[in-house]
Amino acid sequence: MELSDIRNRIDAIDAGILDLFCERMELAQEVAKAKAQTGKAVFDPEREREKLSQVARAVPAEFSGQAVSLFSLLMSMNKAAQQRAIHAADAGSLSRTAFNALQLIDKPFPALADVACQGVEGAYSQIAACRLFKIPTITFHPTFEGVFRSVRDGSSTYGVLPIENSTAGSVNAVYDLIAKYRFSIVRSIRLKIDHNLLAKPGVSKADISEVYSHEQAIAQCSEYLERLGVTVHACENTAQAAAFVAESPRRDIAALSSRDCAALYGLTAIDEDVQDSDNNYTRFVVISATPQVFPGATRTSLMLTVSHEPGSLYRVLERIYALDINLVKLESRPIPGRDFEFMFYFDLDCPFGSAALGNLLDGISDVCEMFAYLGSYQELI
């Protein structure tokens, strides 16, 4: 049999598969109506196990795994279509609620705003806030939760918080507070972080016996600090560490902080750019107590929990894959009071308002125990 003949046969088979696929997906509408009338859940695990077992037995053993994967994906797409059909007439559906938050095109991201940050003047959060807003009025809080409370109470319209670093990883405390407060993320920025060893004028590196900084900065400069051979102390913030060194009568201490803090607190940079990696970026997010989506939003954040059983997270990932949505981050955090159970955070690269995003928001609840939309936004680089 010639290759051209084989390809023609494959094309004919594929055409038949496509016709049957479309017919199968159209039947999802009828299934959704029947389930809505009887109150039956979209996800029927017993039916799914039975179907996959039949598939596995119906094909030669060497094709069993591939056939099960194919039909598992088919059923996932079918269930998502059922969810969309059920929510189609629901004015309060998650996709409509989210899409209704879109700001009018004549309301770009604000240049002036009341913004809450953790730390003191010169902190990286303050630097990020000044990049995100042209003229922010900033209030500082000693803790991350203080920022959330300020936004919750209306003292600040927005909060700016670090959420992950390219070297030290996620800022777990911020993820936990996002789960607690359920605020919306309305913008993010990736900020290049350059740490500097700051001390009082006239102090040399040989004089330093102790270094103060935030735990993330310490982690980002761990190799440098080990070579330096000093005692390290964690502070609430890199800028607070610089302020502490400036106010202390001691001349054997230094801070890991930004260049801005040197001028701000009258210190000298003994060593510059001491982070272990030159590719050292921290991602900051802007939080809002009310849902807001501004023009240009291409990233979406979700938070969810799944049942504590095999394959539960896979079913969520399967839905994302089936809709051709790019997953750019997946983070897990333990759920307080529930042993070995986790909250999952997803960052998706998908334009806001797209059919794919709407289909995901309305078609994923059946494979989750809890599901929350945290917002869609633009990420600045």
pTM here is 0.76
Query: What does the block give as tokens for 20?
Result: 């049957």
pLDDT at position 104 is 55
pLDDT at position 42 is 67
CATH fold label, 1-89? Chorismate Mutase Domain, subunit A (1.20.59)
pLDDT at position 27 is 82
Contact criterion met (CB below 8 Å) for 359 and 380: no
User: Which numeric CATH code is attached to 130-193+281-288?
Assistant: 3.40.190.10
Query: What does the block give as tokens for 92?
Result: 């309060």
With a CB cutoff of 8 Å and minimum separation 6, the contacts of 30 are none
> Residues of CATH 1.20.59.10 domain(s) within the chain?
1-89
Pairing status of strand 253-257 against strand 326-334: unpaired
DSSP for residue 279: S
pLDDT at position 101 is 65
Kindly provide the b/e burial profile for residues 92-123, where b requires at least 16 CB atoms within 10 angstroms of the residue's own CB.
ebbbbebbebbeeeeeebbeebbbbbbbbebb
Q: Is 378 helix (H, G, I), strand (E, B) or coil?
A: strand
pLDDT at position 295 is 86
pLDDT in tens, the chain (381 residues): 788 888 889 989 989 989 988 888 888 777 777 776 776 766 677 888 888 889 899 989 898 888 888 888 888 778 777 777 776 666 666 676 777 666 555 578 888 899 999 888 888 899 899 999 998 999 999 889 999 999 999 999 999 999 987 767 778 888 888 888 989 999 999 988 889 999 999 888 888 999 999 888 898 899 999 999 899 999 888 888 999 999 999 999 999 998 888 888 999 999 988 988 877 788 999 999 988 888 889 999 998 888 777 778 888 888 888 888 999 999 888 877 666 678 889 999 998 888 888 888 887 777 778 888 888 999 998
Q: Is 232 helix (H, G, I), strand (E, B) or coil?
A: strand
Rounded to the nearest 5 degrees, what angle is found at the Cα of 87, between the Cα atoms of 85 and 92?
165
Query: What does the block give as tokens for 352?
Result: 């806001």
Nearest residue to 285 (alpha-carbon basis) of 146, 132, 112: 132
CATH fold label, 197-271? D-Maltodextrin-Binding Protein; domain 2 (3.40.190)
Q: Is 290 helix (H, G, I), strand (E, B) or coil?
A: coil
> Residues of CATH 3.40.190.10 domain(s) within the chain?
130-193+281-288, 197-271
CA-to-CA dists, residue 191 to 70, 162, 171, 282, 376, angstroms: 42, 10, 15, 5, 19
